[in-house]
């Protein structure tokens, strides 16, 4: 790599929380003087994973459940050590958990769920006419719609894929009645949505982590140490608030990240 190559290449997935976390990591690495590039909203989970493995990225925010159920599915990686060992074989490492779980969940408008008597995902069996709209990635992930449908024997046929950021407006307009929520989305409270109980425990825990190439340890040790300071620093309530600033108040992700780093880690 020549002089024009940045030392650290950060990636983020195409949704707000991932971009905020990518910005935090970027700014932390920059605070050590490193040259850092953030490839924002690069794509879905598979795109980020492949770019990291090819060496086109050095680090991006990921979730433990996504590693276990989707990226490394089919192996028994239930305990932490097994997951870390499987990643090490790919030249990859995991940070400490950042401190929050962002799980998938199914959601409906509160009033509609109440009227139909739906509290649990199992309750959807009695309502085959409901219109489902799922984020595109959820439509074909190993932990997504096909597996959820099989687990619960859900009968719905009106099921479409859509951009996650459009799902909430779809619920508002009535175009769809059920969608996959990300549990740290600020819209859940803002739109008054009911989160259905996953009574058969389909979804695993999705602890947020940083996933990075092991070679960063020798290539950019100071930048890496700075980025790893994010471990344990974000509660679920905190992440929901940060998502709310970006999504509901339309504050740019870089600003949301900068304000958080200044107030929580004293970095400016
Ligand atoms: N998640 C839930 C997904 C999107 C929503 C955070 C586990 C992921 O990015 O893997």
Mutate to test the pocket of ligand 1, among 45, 66, 100 (most ligand atoms within 8 A of CB): 66
Please list, in sequence order, all residues whose beta carbon lies within 8 angstroms of the beta carbon of residue 217, skipping any fewer than 6 positions away: 93, 224
* Structure-model confidence comparison of residues 1 and 109, the more confident one: 109
> What distance in Å separates the CA atoms of residue 63 and residue 17, rounded to the nearest whole number?
12
State mean pLDDT over 68-80.
Answer: 93
What average pLDDT does this structure show over 151-177?
95
CA 58 / ligand 1 centre spacing (Å): 20
Tens of pLDDT, residue by residue over 181-216, are 999 999 999 999 999 999 999 999 999 999 999 999
d(CA 154, CA 150): 7
Say if residues 32 and 7 touch (Cβ distance below 8 Å). Answer: no
- ipTM of this predicted complex? 0.95
Residues comprising the chain, all counted = 268
Contacts with 94 (C-beta within 8 Å, 6 or more apart), sequence order: 64, 83, 84, 87, 209, 210, 211
How many CB atoms are located within 10 Å of the residue 5 CB?
9
Å from CA of 2 to ligand 1 middle: 35
Cβ partners under 8 Å of residue 150, min gap 6? none
The pTM of this model reads 0.96
Angle at 19 between CA 13 and CA 21, to 5 degrees: 110
Least Cα distance to 80 among 61, 67, 91 occurs for 67
**Mean pLDDT, rounded, for 166-175:** 94
pLDDT computed for residue 61 by the predictor: 99
Task: Decide if pLDDT at 1 tops 70.
Answer: no
Beta-carbon count within 10 A of 211 CB: 23
Phi-psi region of 264 (alpha: psi -120 to 50; beta: other; left: phi over 0): alpha
Predicted confidence band at 4 (pLDDT cuts at 50, 70, 90)? low
CA 195 – ligand 1 centroid, Å: 16
Give the ligand 1 atom nearest the CA of 141: 10
Strands (E) in 67-184, as ranges, are 92-94, 104-109, 132-135, 159-162, 178-182
Q: Tell me how far the alpha carbon of residue 18 lies from the centroid of ligand 1, in angstroms.
A: 9
Please determine, for residue 152, whether its predicted confidence score (pLDDT) is greater than 60. Answer: yes
What proportion of the chain, given as a percentage, has pLDDT over 70? 99
Among 65, 165, 181, 186, name the best residue to mutate to test ligand 1's pocket (greatest count of ligand atoms within 8 A of Cβ).
65
Distance in Å, CA 3 to ligand 1 centroid: 35
Q: pLDDT value at position 213?
A: 98
Check pLDDT > 90 for residue 86.
Answer: yes
Atom of ligand 1 nearest to the CA of 18: 9
Structure tokens belonging to residue 213: 């190439």
C-alpha span between 235 and 223 (Å, rounded)? 23
Q: Is the predicted pLDDT of residue 6 greater than 80, yes or no?
A: no
Q: How far is CA 27 from CA 24, 104, 107, 252, 254, in A?
A: 5, 28, 34, 14, 9
């Amino acid at each position: 790599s020549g002089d024009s190559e940045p030392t650290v290449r950060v990636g983020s997935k195409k949704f707000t929380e991932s971009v905020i976390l990518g910005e935090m990591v970027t700014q932390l690495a920059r605070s050590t003087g490193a040259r850092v590039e953030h490839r924002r909203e690069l794509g879905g989970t598979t795109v980020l994973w492949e770019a990291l493995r090819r060496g086109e990225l050095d680090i991006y925010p990921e979730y433990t459940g996504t590693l276990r159920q989707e990226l490394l599915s089919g192996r028994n990686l239930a305990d932490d050590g097994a997951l870390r060992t499987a990643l090490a074989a790919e030249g990859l490492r995991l940070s400490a958990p950042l401190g929050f779980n962002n799980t998938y969940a199914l959601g409906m408008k509160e009033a509609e769920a109440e009227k139909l008597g739906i509290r649990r995902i199992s309750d959807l069996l009695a309502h085959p006419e409901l219109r489902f709209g799922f984020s595109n990635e959820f439509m074909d992930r190993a932990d997504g719609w096909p597996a959820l449908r099989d687990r619960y024997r859900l009968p719905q046929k009106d099921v479409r894929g859509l951009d996650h950021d459009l799902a909430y407006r779809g619920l508002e307009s009535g175009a769809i009645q059920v969608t996959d929520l990300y549990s740290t989305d600020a819209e859940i409270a803002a739109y008054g949505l009911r989160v259905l109980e996953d009574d058969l425990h389909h979804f695993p825990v999705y602890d947020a982590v940083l996933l990075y190439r092991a070679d960063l340890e020798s290539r950019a040790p100071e930048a890496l140490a700075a980025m790893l300071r994010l471990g344990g620093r974000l509660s679920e309530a905190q992440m929901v608030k940060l998502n709310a600033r970006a999504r509901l108040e339309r504050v740019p992700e870089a600003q949301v990240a900068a304000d958080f780093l200044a107030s929580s880690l004293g970095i400016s």
